[in-house]
A and B are shown apart, each in its own frame.
Chain A
Amino acid sequence: MTEPERRSLAGSGSGQARRLEDLLPLIARGDESAYEALYDQAAGRVLGVITRVLRDPAQSEEVMQEVLLEVWRTASRFDPTLGTGISWVMTLAHRRAVDRVRSERSQASRELRGAAAAHVVDHDQVAEAVEVSMDRQRVRRCLAVLTPLQAQCVDLAYFGGYTYREVGELLGVPTGTVKTRMRDGLIKLRDCLGYDGGAT
Chain B
Amino acid sequence: MSSGDELDIGPDSQLHTLAGAYALDAVTEAERTAFSRHLADCAACRQEIREFQEATALLAVANRAEPRPELKASSLRAIGRTSQLAPPVRNGAADPGPSPASGRPLRGRSMRPARRPRVQARMALAAAAVLIAAGGVVGAVLHDQVQQLSQSQRQSRMIAQVLTAPDRSMRTENVSTGGQATVVLSTRQRALVFTAHGLRSLPVTESYELWLMGPRGDRPAGMLAVQGGMAGPAVVSGLAAGDMLGMTIEPASGSAAPTSAPVMMIATAS
List residues of A whose CB falls within 8 A of some B CB: 9, 13, 21, 25-26, 28-30, 32, 35-36, 39, 43-45, 47-49, 51-52, 60-61, 64-70, 72-84, 86-88, 90-96, 98-99, 102, 105-106, 112, 130-133, 135-136, 138-140, 154, 157-159, 161-167, 169, 175-176, 178-187, 189-190, 193, 195, 197-198, 200
B98: chain A residues within 8 A (beta carbon): 21, 25, 80-81, 200
Q: Is B205 a contact of A67 with CB atoms below 8 Å?
A: no
B225: chain A residues within 8 A (beta carbon): 76-77
Q: Is B252 a contact of A92 with CB atoms below 8 Å?
A: yes
A49, A154, A200: residue with the most chain B Cβ atoms closer than 10 Å: A49
- Whole-angstrom CA separation of A161 from B27 in the bound complex: 10
Of residues 212 to 270 in B, which have CB atoms within 8 Å of A's CB atoms?
Answer: 223, 225, 251-254
Q: Is A77 a contact of B252 with CB atoms below 8 Å?
A: yes
- Whole-angstrom CA separation of A98 from B203 in the bound complex: 18
Nearest chain A CB to B145 CB, angstrom units: 13
Q: Is B2 a contact of A166 with CB atoms below 8 Å?
A: yes
What 6 A-B pairs have minimum CB-CB distances, sorted nearest first? A183-B20, A182-B20, A157-B26, A48-B63, A49-B60, A87-B57
Of residues 42 to 83 in B, which have CB atoms within 8 Å of A's CB atoms?
Answer: 46-47, 50-68, 71-72, 74-76, 78-80, 82-83
Does residue B23 face the partner (Cβ distance < 8 Å to A)? yes
A182: chain B residues within 8 A (beta carbon): 20-21, 24, 26
Task: From known contacts A158-B56, A182-B21, infer whether A133 and B62 are also in contact, taking CB-CB under 8 Å.
Answer: yes
Nearest chain B CB to A174 CB, angstrom units: 11
Task: From known contacts A69-B82, A158-B25, infer whether A139 and B62 are also in contact, taking CB-CB under 8 Å.
Answer: yes
Q: List 16 A-B contacts (CB under 8 A).
A: A25-B98, A43-B75, A49-B63, A61-B71, A70-B252, A70-B253, A91-B53, A132-B64, A140-B62, A157-B24, A176-B17, A184-B20, A186-B24, A186-B56, A190-B54, A193-B54
Q: Which of B84-92, B113-121, B124-132 contacts A (4 or more CB under 8 A)?
A: B84-92
- Whole-angstrom CA separation of A166 from B57 in the bound complex: 22
Nearest chain B CB to A29 CB, angstrom units: 7
Does residue B180 face the partner (Cβ distance < 8 Å to A)? no
- Whole-angstrom CA separation of A37 from B157 in the bound complex: 33
Task: From known contacts A36-B76, A39-B76, A73-B82, infer whether A84 and B54 are also in contact, taking CB-CB under 8 Å.
Answer: yes
Q: Is A158 a contact of B57 with CB atoms below 8 Å?
A: no
Q: Is B27 a contact of A130 with CB atoms below 8 Å?
A: no
- Whole-angstrom CA separation of A74 from B19 in the bound complex: 25
Task: From known contacts A95-B25, A166-B1, infer whether A74 and B51 are also in contact, taking CB-CB under 8 Å.
Answer: no
Q: Mark B25-39, 1 if CB is under 8 A from A, else 0.
A: 111100000000000
Does residue B103 face the partner (Cβ distance < 8 Å to A)? no
Query: Can you name the residue of chain A whose Cβ is closest to the Cβ of B207?
Result: A77
**Interface SS of A by simple majority:** helix
Q: Is B253 a contact of A51 with CB atoms below 8 Å?
A: no
Query: Can you name the residue of chain A whose Cβ is closest to the Cβ of B71?
Result: A61
A74 touches which of B27, B76, B252 (Cβ 8 Å): B252
B23: chain A residues within 8 A (beta carbon): 186
- Whole-angstrom CA separation of A157 from B254 in the bound complex: 22
- Whole-angstrom CA separation of A64 from B65 in the bound complex: 11
Nearest chain B CB to A118 CB, angstrom units: 16
Q: Is B17 a contact of A180 with CB atoms below 8 Å?
A: yes
- Whole-angstrom CA separation of A124 from B51 in the bound complex: 25
- Whole-angstrom CA separation of A179 from B18 in the bound complex: 6
Q: Is B87 a contact of A95 with CB atoms below 8 Å?
A: no
Task: From known contacts A162-B26, A182-B21, A193-B58, infer whether A133 and B64 are also in contact, taking CB-CB under 8 Å.
Answer: yes
Nearest chain B CB to A75 CB, angstrom units: 7
- Whole-angstrom CA separation of A198 from B43 in the bound complex: 13
Q: Is A164 a contact of B27 with CB atoms below 8 Å?
A: yes
Q: Is A28 a contact of B64 with CB atoms below 8 Å?
A: no
Q: Is A28 a contact of B87 with CB atoms below 8 Å?
A: yes
A90 touches which of B28, B47, B57, B88 (Cβ 8 Å): B57
Nearest chain A CB to B153 CB, angstrom units: 14
Nearest chain A CB to B229 CB, angstrom units: 13
